[in-house]
């Protein structure tokens, strides 16, 4: 059975829990990285998620950010070796969680190392927040270089807040040099690919103008005025076993949607 992994910026898990549980049931994802849970740990809906058949590890803070990993109990042992944030970067904001996922019938020598990341938005070019985003991405590259050495089967999924190429943007001229699309941001994304990571979405043919985020304003989703900023980056060992990938825009059509849609990939792993 192929393994389906996914990422979703839910923009408040309190508001979106039903969407997440419905999507897991209908889409069949086995592992899901969440971003922008916006929940302190005391308020995280652990029981509801576990009752739905998933292990969960999470790290939050008041109001902003917050990340989690869900892993289907019928396939995985409880997540282990959990690490929150980047050990190489002092950060007051909670934007990364990583864990080992071991198959219940594990035969592989290496676990699946799964990381859910929420890259800073950056606000606008030439702001303090943009500088923070640049420093954050520099540190992420150093961390992932280490992680790739330690974990041959590494998946780094999340909201990267970067549209890698013009074809990932509904109106490239309007977005030229703007935050999410600026050349320095794209160079940071390319630097991650240069480590050997692969963008799962681009491993397979895709429809044109398939995006993962649309502004809440001005009917942007109905007009498909979106960006592709949510990505699954795979180590070469995983990329070689990636059978399919895509973005599911169905949840963006629901009432009270997240402004992001889930992105996913399937992996043919022999008991990862």
CA separation (Å) from 209 to 181, 215, 221, 261?
Answer: 15, 15, 12, 14
The nearer residue to DNA, 108 or 125, going by C-beta atoms, is: 125
- Nearest approach in angstroms of CB 81 to DNA is 27
Task: Based on the residue annotation, tell me whether 159 is a catalytic residue of this protein.
Answer: yes
Task: Based on the residue annotation, tell me whether 126 is a catalytic residue of this protein.
Answer: no
Sequence-distant (≥ 6) Cβ neighbours of residue 191 within 8 angstroms: 137, 141
Write each residue from 81 to 120 as x if it is in contact with DNA (CB under 7 A), else as -, in one continuous string: ---------------------------------------x
Residue 158 in tokens: 């999340």
Q: Which stretch binds DNA (CB under 7 A): 76-84, 134-142, 148-156, 210-218?
A: 210-218
Counting contacts by CB under 7 A, is residue 259 touching DNA?
yes
Give the β-pairing of 67-72 and 54-59: antiparallel
Closest to 268 measured CA to CA, from 246, 248, 245, 252: 245
Sequence-distant (≥ 6) Cβ neighbours of residue 90 within 8 angstroms: none
Give the binding-site size for DNA (rule: CB under 7 A). 29
Q: How far apart are CA 145 and CA 129, in angstroms?
A: 24
Counting contacts by CB under 7 A, is residue 58 touching DNA?
no
Q: Which stretch binds DNA (CB under 7 A): 74-82, 184-192, 241-249, 252-260?
A: 252-260
Contact 179, 122 (CB under 8 A): yes
Counting contacts by CB under 7 A, is residue 159 touching DNA?
yes
Residues classed as catalytic: 118, 159
> What residue ranges bind DNA (CB under 7 A)?
9, 11-12, 14-15, 36, 38, 62-64, 120-121, 123-124, 129, 159, 161, 179-180, 213, 215-218, 227, 229, 256, 259-260
């Amino acid at each position: 059975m192929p393994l389906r992994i996914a990422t979703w910026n839910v923009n408040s898990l309190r508001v979106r829990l039903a969407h997440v549980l419905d999507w897991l049931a209908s889409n069949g994802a086995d592992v899901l990285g969440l971003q922008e849970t916006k929940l302190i740990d005391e308020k995280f809906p652990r029981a509801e998620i576990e009752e739905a058949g998933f292990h969960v590890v999470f790290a939050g803070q008041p109001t902003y950010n917050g990340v989690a990993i869900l892993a289907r109990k019928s396939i995985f042992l409880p997540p282990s070796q959990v690490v929150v944030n980047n050990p190489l970067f002092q950060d007051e904001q909670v934007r990364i969680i990583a864990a080992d996922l071991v198959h219940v019938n594990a035969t592989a020598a290496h676990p699946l190392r799964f990381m859910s990341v929420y890259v800073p938005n950056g606000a606008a070019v030439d702001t303090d927040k943009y500088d923070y985003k640049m420093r954050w991405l520099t540190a992420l590259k150093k961390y992932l270089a280490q992680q790739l050495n330690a974990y041959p089967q590494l998946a780094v999924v999340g909201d990267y807040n970067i549209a890698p190429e013009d074809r990932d943007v509904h109106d490239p001229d309007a977005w030229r040099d703007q935050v999410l699309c600026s050349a320095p941001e794209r160079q940071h994304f390319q630097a991650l690919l240069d480590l050997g990571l692969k963008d799962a979405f681009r491993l397979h043919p895709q429809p044109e103008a398939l995006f993962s985020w649309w502004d809440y304003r001005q009917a942007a989703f109905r007009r498909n005025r979106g960006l592709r900023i949510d990505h699954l980056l795979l180590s070469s060992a995983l990329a070689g076993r990636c059978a399919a990938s895509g973005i599911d825009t169905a949840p963006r059509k629901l009432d009270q949607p997240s402004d992001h849609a889930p992105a996913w990939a399937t992996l043919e792993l022999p008991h990862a």
